[in-house]
Structure 1
Amino acid sequence: MSSAAVVEAMPTSGVSPQAQSSEYVLEVVDVRKEFPGVLALDNVQLKIRPGTVHALMGENGAGKSTLMKVIAGIYQPDQGEVRLRGEPVTLETPLKAQESGVAMIHQELLLMNSMTVSENIWIRREPRNSFGLIDHDRMRGMTVELFDRLNIRLNPDAEISTLSVANRQMVEIAKAVSFNSDVLIMDEPTSAITETEVAHLFEIIRDLRKRGIGIVYITHKMNELFEIADEFSVFRDGKYIGTHLSSEVTRDDIIKMMVGREVSQMFPKEEVEIGDVLLSVKNLSLEGVFHDISFDVRKGEILGLAGLVGAGRSNVAETIFGVTPATSGQIFIEGEEVNIKNPHDAIRQGMAFLTEDRKETGCFLPLDIQENVQSAVLHDNYVNNGFVDHAALEKESAELCKKLRVKTPSMHEVIENLSGGNQQKVLIARWLLTHPRILILDEPTRGIDVGAKSEIHALISQLAHKGVAVIMISSELPEVLGMSDRVLVMHEGRCTGILDRDEADQVSVMSLAAK
């Protein structure tokens, strides 16, 4: 594949007359965006054809999210321009972007939990009766009609707080489509949904493509690019690298474009000597959630937890760490029973827990990187003559962030300003700073680009080599199979089997997961 390959014109059958006036429904021309100490976008470009799905690829910190926020009216470019249907536009606010035909579905869904599905979709655009009051019956009818178009089966009167993540995402999609948008931006739309829900989402995307909508699809999952995208663009370090037809490249071509180097081994699993049992879980139960879970994890071992969404894997991890104390069962560390009533007790016992939801339960968003990294440290290890050795603490924090390649101008950058992948790296640094002997990782590479995934996998292997007992939960089966010494499979709150590395494959794991 030549880096100078030209993307051929895509068919535009079914495109609205409004969009047909230009070859591209959206163009980004030489856009630059700089923040204090960071050049986020360096004269980048992007061209979206109507009636196509255009995947945007790149490592975390490559500039993808910044560009999307420029297009969605959240940020203003320092230079360059955005064109819609061939005409330059100034999108001062997200509302102006929506009114101009650009809608964005964020990775962290932005819905009002206490409001109904209909109220969320038509907020600020509610139909009114002759008295100026909201016409709820008409609004409900509009929602039903919209759902019928998209083949979405949801109750318009349901409160958002009662919906699953996948169904909330369907509400966001319906809301975006309700603006009759020409451009729809989807940021990691499949990061927290099941394979069945992904299939339904792809059906909706294909239907929107037939209707002439140009879709910008941000993902780190290579299989999705080849399944749903017509073409793709790659960004690296804030620069535009190239655009190609999905049919013209291989997975390795894309990885090389993204990281600027070969990623020779995605799962660098080291063969290490497995030591004595470090953690034992006996008949652990949480009433109404999971039942009679028993397993051992040895020093240097990586135990993978596999299962479908809702199987109870994360609940087991949270219970071991004391987030939700067990209703029955026992936990032993090096043969001695321990009573873990809260996370503080778990940390005292040498445990660390990387949560799956970095926004809600991981990051302290208003605080800077330094404060986030140090937040889990019990200062005993950094006390000198009765005083906390802040210099040593800050030095080790900075070294860990450098080792994990966190992209930031300084340790005092507010973590909310970082990309999702860099936030994840900061959380990993937080727990490494505690020097754990038992490390629980819940979806450690969710929303992480392919280059960073390889680095995190290598780090997990290095920790196992040092004798750390690792429990790793992942919804990506290749990750579980590639990194684990043994795989514990769960189904509906119960352990359905534990497989050794040499007997675990996709068929055996999925047969236990769907048992």
Structure 2
Amino acid sequence: MLSARAIRKAYPGTVALKGVDFDIHHAKVNVLIGENGAGKSTLMKILAGIEQPTSGTLHYRGEALHLTHPREAIKRGIGIVHQELNLCANLNVAENMFIGKELKGPGGTVRLARQRRIATDVLARMGQRIDVDALVQELSIGERQIVEIAKVLVSEVDILILDEPTSSLSKAEVGVLFSLIEELKRQGVSIVYISHRLEELIEIGDTFTVLRDGNLAGTGVAGEVTVDWLVTRMIGAQMEGPLRDGRAAATFADRPVALRVEGLEASGVNGGLALKQLSFSIKRGEIVGFYGLMGAGRTELFETLIGLRRALAGTIEIEGRRLPLDGTIAERIRAGIALVPEDRQKLGLVPNRSVADNLLLANLERYAGITGLRSGRMRRDVSRCIDELMIKVSDPEVLVSTLSGGNQQKAVLGKNLLTEPKILLLDEPTRGIDIKARRELFEVIDRLAERGLTILYASSDLGEIISGADRVLVMSQGRITADLQREELTEARLVASSQVQRRDTRKESA
């Protein structure tokens, strides 16, 4: 369908692609993989007309292709779903799905009713019941990711580029997406699929292309490619041990309670409750995983604990000290809570500021002196943070928006660690992070827990939940439906517990 040859892309101070070849085969899932910063997203932006190559050629159906604007790619049937969501929060779902390609009637009026019908049909085809009249700002990030995919599918596409499409989806929701991909293949659509979940790639991929440091590191086809094959070409060596090493079992019976939550309630959309009488306690140094399907309330819980979402009832205590329910985010940070949010672009970073500024912004009080900010201490902390978290950056003064997704995530983590928290909340911490960075991240998490930091993390990845947590709290529809110790953790039990309340709700409705 499409061939890229000797693609080179140079930016000031760096070369993102160094003569890469890439082929997209008809009605196949064409996997593209590499570490953060390998050049995957840059190549996809070139294929979608967002960026132009410094040199190299593109051929589409055997003819030379020159794309100078995304609309030219769309007219050719090339659609892209970006890793970072690109939706208008103040518009509803249907309006977002048709933005820039509105259906016009007589006199140029927009045919809103027809757009709504098509939007509803596309979402139903994806196995989703998202209200097309709901504002995007009212949706969870997982629902927004589905809308982003649906936005591309309302147009006729021959090539669909999916950049980390499952990063916020549970196992059940990934199954729905994979079924949709198989249906699109039957219809003749060619898929370009980018993900850091290796087992997922082996399951869905037909052809495989690996990039490393802007170079082509290898190609293969289904049946020949294994996880070890991918890892060897991604990082240049075989990876020893599992992707996520679980830390040694620890006993917490004699440790003090670091966080206690009793009867917590918080509002959701359309007047409902996002959290319903949540109660739990977590010991100092404990790593507790939160698992649940999309809309279970995990993100809403973390937002309530940090003060981003106001609690309606209940109590929150840190080391025995009760926090006011109407506390601000700054007050919660001073109390010892830090949040690495699921949506790093919206809530975690200031993209037009430098890496150094982003690392320091949450904790400027720490550097205040008599005559101003202590620049020497600031530089030392930035350097230490970059080294400890292995953030790939040539200069701390470059814009954080120029970093790869995984390194941006590390910057958000570093910013929060510099506040010296007692409770660290991690919402989908490995979203958009490659296997090497994921391992490094959890090694940092384990070290922090050994020092006494209490860590709560929400993940849609069952492997991360099972191998990384001392204990798992399963959520469904704003409630905790299971409290499982490490020895009780199985995929079957987690999935079953995550759907308990959903089954009860359907029974009540019937």
Using structure 2 for the length normalisation, give the TM-score: 0.87
Cα 1:166–1:432 change in 2 (3 A) is closer
Distance 1:141 1:366, change over 3 A: closer
Matches within 5 A, 1:292-441: 292-339=277-324, 341-380=327-366, 382-384=367-369, 387-441=372-426
Aligned-pair distance for 1:137?
A: 7.6
Give the direction of change, closer, same or farther, for the CA distance of 1:355–1:114 in structure 2 (3 Å limit): closer
8 Å CA contact 2:94–2:116 kept in 1: the answer is no
Q: Which moved more, 1:452-461 or 1:57-66?
A: 57-66
Could you tell me which runs of 5 or more consecutive residues in structure 2 were left unpaired when the two chains were aligned.
Answer: 268-272, 501-510
1:403 positional shift: 2.6
- C-alpha distance 198-216 of structure 1, shift in aligned 2 (>3 A): same
CA drift of 1:135 comes to 6.2
* RMSD between superposed Cα atoms in Å: 2.8
1:143 to 108, 115, 118: 118
Worse-matched range after superposition: 279-288 or 170-179: 170-179
CA distance in 1 between partners of 2:14 and 2:209 (Å): 22
Summarize the Cα distance change of 1:511–1:128 in structure 2 as closer, same or farther, 3 Å threshold: closer
**Structure 1 residues not aligned, in runs of 5+:** 1-24
Task: For residue 46 of structure 1, give the secondary structure of its aligned residue in structure 2.
Answer: strand
Residue 18 of structure 1: aligned partner: none
- Deviation track 1:92-120 (CA, whole Å, cap 9, x = no partner) reads 11112222332212233434455566655
In the alignment, which residue of structure 1 is the partner of 2:256?
Answer: 276
Shift of 1:487: 1.3
Deviations 1:324-383 (A, max 9, x none): 232222222222323361121121122211111111211112212111111111423x34
In the other structure, the counterpart of 1:187 is: 163
Distance 1:347-1:460 versus aligned 2 partners, 3 A rule: same
Query: Does the CA contact (< 8 Å) of 2:266 and 2:312 recur in 1?
Result: yes
- Number of the residue aligned with 1:94: 70
Q: Using the alignment, how far apart are the partners of 1:168 and 1:479 within structure 2?
A: 23
What is the aligned-residue identity percentage? 36
Output the CA distance in 1 between the equivalents of 2:169 and 2:72: 30
Give the secondary structure class of the aligned counterpart of 2:4.
strand
- Pairing of 1:104-143 with structure 2 (within 5 A): 104-113=80-89, 115=91, 119-126=95-102, 128-129=104-105, 132-134=107-109, 136=111, 139-140=114-115, 143=118
Aligned residues of 1:122 and 1:139 also touching (Cα < 8 A): no
SS of 2:394's partner is coil
CA distance in 2, matches of 1:358, 1:136: 35
Q: Aligned equivalents of 2:291 and 2:142: distance in 1?
A: 20
Does the 8 Å CA contact 1:186/1:215 hold for their aligned counterparts?
A: yes
Q: Deviations over 1:386-441 (max 9, x none)?
A: 64312211221122123322222321222222222111111011011112222111
Local SS of the residue matching 1:248:
coil
Structure 1 residues 270 and 120, CA gap change in structure 2 (3 angstroms): closer
Identify which range, 276-285 or 311-320, moves more after superposition. Answer: 276-285
- Could you tell me how far apart the structure 2 residues matched to 1:96 and 1:28 are? 17
1:487 aligned partner: 472
Q: Answer yes or no: is the 8 Å Cα contact 2:123–2:150 preserved in 1.
A: no
Aligned equivalents of 1:434, 1:137: Cα separation in 2: 48
Q: Partners in 2 of 1:152 and 1:316 — Cα distance?
A: 26
The Cα of 1:294 is off from its aligned counterpart by 2.3
Matched-pair contact (CA < 8 Å) for 1:111–1:160: no
Check if 1:158 corresponds to 2:133.
Answer: yes
1:3 equivalent in structure 2: none
Q: Does the 8 Å CA contact 1:230/1:246 hold for their aligned counterparts?
A: yes
Residue 266 of structure 1 corresponds to: 243
Distance 2:30 2:394 in 1: 30
- What SS class does the counterpart of residue 390 from structure 2 fall into? coil
Matches within 5 A, 1:42-121: 42-113=18-89, 115=91, 119-121=95-97
Q: How many residue pairs end up in the alignment?
A: 489
Q: C-alpha separation between the residues in 1 aligned to 2:335 and 2:116? A: 56
- Mark the CA change 1:255 to 1:395 in structure 2 (over 3 Å): closer, same or farther: same
Alignment CA distance shift 1:168-1:456 (3 Å): closer
The 3 A distance-change label for structure 1 pair 510 and 43 is same
Distance 1:52 1:334 in 2: 54
Q: What is the SS of the residue equivalent to 2:441?
A: helix
**What is the Cα deviation at residue 203 of structure 1?**
2.4
Give 1 or 2 for the bigger CA radius of gyration. 1
Give deviations 1:119-163, integer Å, cap 9, x for gaps. Answer: 55555554555x542362895499379849957777997355366
CA shift, 1:277, in A, is 2.1
| Alpha-carbon distance in 2 for matches of 1:153, 1:344 | 37
Bigger Cα displacement from structure 2, 111-120 vs 425-434: 111-120
